């Protein structure tokens, strides 16, 4: 699929996030935010917070309950733990995104793969690095207690009839993207997944592009 173009003059922010790196930025209400999978099959673990009150944050439970579907795509409203709409997916050339597989961590790498995998870099590490460097305009510093349910954009996590989760080969491709419109000022925290132990990013972490425009 081709990357639908937008007016370059309306872009207010654009950055390529390297493979395995974290990213954090605020998107204002009414702005659009696009994640572009530059090389294909990269998993992008993402958390959303109310920029004015970080105790309000994305909730997979509220989002899934209200839409009646465990997968996210065009039309999905991303809801907070107060059941407020935070963002809506307005365009999606991948077709399906996961919000129940969670983020990889030293603990999950150890349990799922091997004890010697515990020191490999993980999304939880990236989240904590970003929070530690956060210069957010807020009275209270963010900590590991602020990590909650995340979305895995471009990640393929099919669920079997008996409830079993699999981390399968990705269904994305170079240039595919997901685009959202913010309903509130939203702080976005991303880990461009460094996982090397399952095919969620083709065993080969790659860069992604973040674009924000009016």
**d(C-alpha 154, C-alpha 131), whole Å:** 23
The yes-or-no verdict on residue 200 having pLDDT over 50 is yes
Cβ-count burial 47-65 (b if 16+ within 10 Å, e if not): bbbbbeebebbbbbebbbe
Residues 6+ apart with CB under 8 A from 59: 79, 80, 81, 83, 148, 149
The yes-or-no verdict on residue 62 having pLDDT over 60 is yes
- Phi/psi at 195 (nearest 5 deg)? -60, 130
Residues 6+ apart with CB under 8 A from 179: 32, 33, 34, 35, 89, 90, 91, 92
pLDDT of residue 112: 62
* Cα 29 → chain centroid: 18
Write out pLDDT tens, residues 92-118: 999 999 999 887 655 655 556 556 655
The pTM of the full predicted model, rounded to 2 decimals, is 0.89
Write out pLDDT tens, residues 153-176: 998 887 878 887 777 777 899 999
Sign of the Cα torsion 45, 100, 102, 155 reads negative
Which pair of structure tokens corresponds to residue 51?
């920029």
pLDDT of residue 197: 64
In the chain, the N- to C-terminal Cα span, in Å, equals: 24
């Amino acid at each position: 699929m081709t990357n639908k173009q937008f007016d370059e003059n309306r872009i207010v922010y654009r950055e390529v996030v390297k493979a395995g790196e974290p990213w954090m930025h605020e998107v204002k209400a009414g702005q659009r935010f696009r994640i572009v999978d530059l090389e294909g099959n990269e998993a992008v673990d993402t958390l959303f917070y109310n920029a004015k009150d970080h105790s309000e944050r994305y909730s997979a439970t509220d989002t899934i309950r209200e839409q009646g579907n465990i997968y996210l795509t065009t039309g999905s409203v991303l809801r907070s733990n107060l059941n407020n709409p935070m963002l809506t997916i307005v365009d999606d050339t991948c077709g399906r995104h996961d919000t129940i597989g969670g983020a990889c961590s030293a603990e999950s790498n150890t349990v799922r793969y091997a004890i010697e995998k515990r020191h490999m870099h993980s999304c939880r590490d990236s989240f904590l690095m970003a929070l530690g460097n956060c210069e957010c305009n807020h009275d209270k510093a963010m900590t590991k207690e602020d990590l909650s349910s995340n979305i895995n954009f471009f990640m393929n996590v099919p669920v079997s009839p008996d409830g079993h989760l699999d981390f399968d080969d990705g269904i994305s491709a170079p240039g595919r993207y997901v685009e959202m419109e913010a309903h509130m000022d939203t702080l976005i925290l991303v880990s461009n997944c460094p996982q090397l132990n399952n095919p969620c990013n083709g065993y080969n972490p790659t860069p992604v592009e973040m674009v924000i425009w009016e």
